[in-house]
Structure 1
């Protein structure tokens, strides 16, 4: 290589030929890369943007792209495939001295007598070469689902592929072939939608610029020059739907990948929170401050996909978990306490039952009597401070049960005594009366099994009931007498023949009123005299009250007159003239 790269004083690159002493600004062909050689044959040029990034500009269409143009990329891949194939072929035949030429010469390598490999194939006539190339495409039923890259790789071993030397010409023939297909071929292709979709999806997969968020409008611009899109007879609707299915799949893959990353990050974040030893008093603010200052949290790259809300949610989940655990512990403790409380109540109830069996607990038993018996018993002490009914409440429950039982038995006894015309009295020999009552009860099937304590309690209740009834009757009688006495006093107040005064005597007025109804309604002279004396006392009280009122009124009048005189004197003093002040002449 005689050409080399050099720079002038201003840093500009130029090229120098050591043999011919020639210099020029354009890069010589022998220094050009395969990409640069291909670009030189097209309207595409390579430039560098600010920052050093390479882009490509088409001087004919005025289009600019960041990626290598598709047709140039296809040529590069085809050239690489050929180079790889030549290297492999040379390696395979190195022992017998055969080279790449022997591979593409089927008459020497395979001794094939097919007309495809006769001397006409080796003709260099351009028209014949083009016909053979198209014939190769038609024989293999190439359609719009084939890409030009597939053409190059699929037919690389077919000698007819190499009859056309220029790659751009091959691509032109391929596109012309697609445009000139017969109606039968187009109809067949139109019915092969599944085949089209498979090939179209392959194109979309190979187009790296198409992402899950790419729209059909953008994708169509990217693939508009691809044969499968430009020359396919498949409807635009099918193409668009196939593209949509493809990007939907990309979107699902993207979302699933993000979800996996996010799920993994959330799992790790949850484990991280568990190592923070949070408790129910841990606030979000204090927890967040701890996280921000923790290098272990900052170094975990998986957490970068999470946001503030994720941290709050995991924090709340951990706090809720702590609350749930605490509630479960409280519930377990409550259940355990409930079992102990119930056991203590059952043991205490058994203690009360023992007292009932021994006759120490009856319907009329007082708590003070029972307390002195059980205060040292462990079953009583064990119930103190427990939840639920306390010892006194359970005691009263038993008393209420006994009371109901005694009342029921008492009703039976009273019905039995009524049937036997036996009346209990409180002003007779009580012991003898009780003995007679017991005899009656022992003769009846319902009451013959009553124990002595029950009979005694019922007998006492009946006696108490008689006493209470007498008290009620006495109160009613006294109330009736008071009402009659009030009526009698009202009569005395109105009586005026003569009018009764504080000087009137009972002996004087009695003969004059003894035939009046109010007088006769009272049962005896004692009640009448009491009513009369109370009436006279009330007259005296009224007289004293009246005199007191007169005295108070007189005192008030005197005080008001005295006050008026004082006010009059004050006014006169205010109106009298002041004596003149003499001026002294010194």
Structure 2
């Protein structure tokens, strides 16, 4: 508000906080300018006394002398009597505050006059009930409230004849009223919090507090009403306010849902009956064609209309999608059944299947199949081929499993044949395939196993022989252990009778004992021979210089020695040679070793010379020569460990 002829104009923030703007100087202030203050406000501002609250009681402090008193000072009493609150110049109660009381604590006068303190809705003193209602009515339109019920609630408050304007439901609790020192009326519910809360909510309801009101706006509207003090603390008042707002929102939501349910069938019929409205039409399109209809006008607001429209369109679109999905599944099932009648296999191509489908009478006569998309038809064909491939794979796996089972049965039958030969003694340890094959070459069990996958007949035979060999080794170890306990030893000269006598109490069959004796004697003889050979080689390495010298003498002998001559002839011709005498001096066996080595080497050289001469012979002859020369070369590698002769590498 602003006075006539003054450049100050009053405004409010979105939160409801007032401020004043100077139109000429273009500046704004939070504190009310002096030009706009009433005489009462100026007089209260000039006095050094300021009012403060302690609970529900007021006390006054002198700013200069710091004197405090519970009684109303005479100076303040005189100002209040001189400037009555219901006069023409009565200021707004919120502007007459000099020192607000917040949460039981007091603020300094400087704080009360600050912009932050100007937001506080708690006045130093409250006006009479008649003036409270009038001030509320006069100030209501300035709160930027979107709800017009605020003015109606203020009018009801100003027209009430009751001093307290008390709601009917507050009469449940005993209440008492008394006049404060500033002349306002106070209410006391005597501890009945529920009644006090009901009275406060009734005040909010009669004031017209709506869901879009803020607590600050509501507080400024109801602060001058005596029922404002029905609840004693700010927390209780704000909780009651939130409870009232939540109840209003729930009520509005319930009413809106009920209206939506009642409007939805009519809107659905309206939208489905109009051919201009499609399932993809927007709200703007529907509004353009249907805004003048009675059904459209039943909604209370455009937002409600939009919500009903979107809900109905969502249901229509869902129904269309379900219908399309149902038709799509039906077409796929029909096409799958049609493709199965063509006896397709894994080699069927899509081009041939598609042409056959298009030419079929079922496809032509069906009302929906021709509208089927080509990609959907291809998906159905691929699904059919996958099913055919799956069946083919399953059949192939069954055939493979049947084949593996049959092959396993054939191997088991052949194993049984080998076991029978073992029981008959025809397969023993160390048996060879060449010995057993003539016995089973015409057996059907062998013929069925030959050529199939898995283990061959030879593998199965060696498996059995390996088992017998392991058993024979165990029996041999038992027999030798028993002989050792008796204090005997098996040698290459041990006879079969002696061996069987020593092993009479051994749990080994007699044929096996004979076989063990034969193998042991053979093994020991071979070991003895090998030991002798090793000893000879050791001696040859020891006398290698004498042997090489004597070999050289054999080579230089004139006339040359006959390689096939007997040892007596060689001795007669060479016994006078110094090399011969030196060799015999070292060991009488050295000349013989030298002669044997000389003969062997000369024969090898002759064979090599003949091989070079027959270099151009057919391949078959060369292969035969290689076979003949191989044993000689192998023997030379095994026996000849002496130094090479002259000219040899």
TM score, norm. by length of structure 2: 0.45
TM-score, structure 1 as length reference: 0.50
